[in-house]
Amino acid sequence: GIQVEQSPPDLILQEGANSTLRCNFSDSVNNLQWFHQNPWGQLINLFYIPSGTKQNGRLSATTVATERYSLLYISSSQTTDSGVYFCAVPARGGSYIPTFGRGTSLIVHP
Amino acid sequence: DAGVIQSPRHEVTEMGQEVTLRCKPISGHDYLFWYRQTMMRGLELLIYFNNNVPIDDSGMPEDRFSAKMPNASFSTLKIQPSEPRDSAVYFCASSRQDSGNTIYFGEGSWLTVV
């Protein structure tokens, strides 16, 4: 199956700082999603981004499918951004059933 | 629109007891997924359904686990008998293939087996 690696595993920021989270995957994909799991455990879909760039407020994501990576940018971080960020890609070629990386744990201090 | 609804939110049970987790997907979604999350293994796909039919249950850990989807608006995940190592958060999620396959999660069922 397709392997997903996320980096860094842990990140601590001061409020207002910017950050970049990375997701590498081992094979071509036709589907990539970013999720945020908040400290209460809720998993929220942030982006569906198989290629290109999307922006939503202070968050943006870019996927370069030919080079097998995706980046999630968080600008002017806030304490509410704390939690774990996951990227998910299809478990295997031709499928779209998501398999998840181990996530990046983000803590934003006030 | 209501999101994916799971019940119970929290359950504590004794080893050997039967556990039934329930899920109502988003109306109109044709895929339903059951995931399990633990610190050791992260988010694992247990089983998924397409149009109420189980497609891939290779992630189901043992015969003690079973899942059903009797209709488009209801699914269950059953563990019988439960063991302490089954303690985890169990998520149900749903998606619609013609809407970009964006997946939506329920709030999870937090299971503790003592």
Decide: A72 and A21 in contact? Cβ < 8 Å: yes
Is the Cβ of A47 closer than 8 Å to some Cβ of chain B?
no
Is the Cβ of A103 closer than 8 Å to some Cβ of chain B?
yes
A97 contacts B89? CB cut-off 8 A: no
pLDDT of residue A28: 83
Assess whether pLDDT exceeds 70 at residue B34. yes
Cβ-based contacts of A103 with chain B (< 8 Å):
42
Cβ-based contacts of B93 with chain A (< 8 Å):
43
Work out the average pLDDT over B29-46. 94
Assess whether pLDDT exceeds 70 at residue B41. yes
Is the Cβ of A88 closer than 8 Å to some Cβ of chain B?
yes
User: How does pLDDT run across B64-113, given as a tens digit for each residue?
Assistant: 999 999 999 999 999 999 999 999 999 999 998 876 678 999 999 999 99
Chosen for mutation from A49, A97, A102, A104 (greatest number of chain B CBs closer than 10 Å) is: A97
Question: Cα B80–B10–B61 angle (5° rounding)?
Answer: 35
pLDDT of residue A94: 62
Q: How far is A87 from chain B (nearest CA, A)?
A: 11
Q: Give 10-residue mean pLDDT values along chain A (110 residues).
A: 92 97 91 93 93 96 95 97 94 75 96
pLDDT of residue B97: 80
pLDDT of residue A93: 62
Nearest to A41 among B56, B93, B108 (CB): B108
pLDDT of residue A7: 97
In our burial notation (b when 16+ CB lie closer than 10 A, e otherwise), range A10-23 reads ebebeeeeebebeb
B114 vs B41: CA distance, rounded Å:
20
Q: How far is A49 from chain B (nearest CA, A)?
A: 9
Nearest to A33 among B45, B91, B103 (CB): B103
- Find out whether the peptide bond into B81 is cis, omega within 30 degrees of 0: yes
Q: How far is B89 from chain A (nearest CA, A)?
A: 9
User: How does pLDDT run across B44-77, given as a tens digit for each residue?
Assistant: 999 999 999 999 898 998 899 999 999 999 999 9
Assess whether pLDDT exceeds 90 at residue B35. yes
